[in-house]
Amino acid sequence: MVDSSVILYSHIIPPIVAFISVLLICSGIMDRKTPYTILGVLLFFAGGLLPFVVLPFVLGG
């Protein structure tokens, strides 16, 4: 049986973070606000790497 925290960290949080980061990237580029764009790119990478960082601790491996 899969623990609910595994699904949360692998399938729910990363897409939400990626969506927010795409919004930040778009608004940063359109409004010419470099900090928004940089924050969006960093959040996008964080959303992609989050499962690989958190899940080994959650699964105990």
pLDDT digits (tens, 9 = 90+) for 19-47: 999 999 999 999 999 999 999 999 999 99
Q: Shortest CA distance to 5 belongs to which of 39, 40, 61, 54? A: 54
The sign of the dihedral angle between the CA atoms of 29, 30, 33, 37 is negative
Q: What is the mean pLDDT of the chain?
A: 91
Give residue limits of the domains in the chain: 4-59
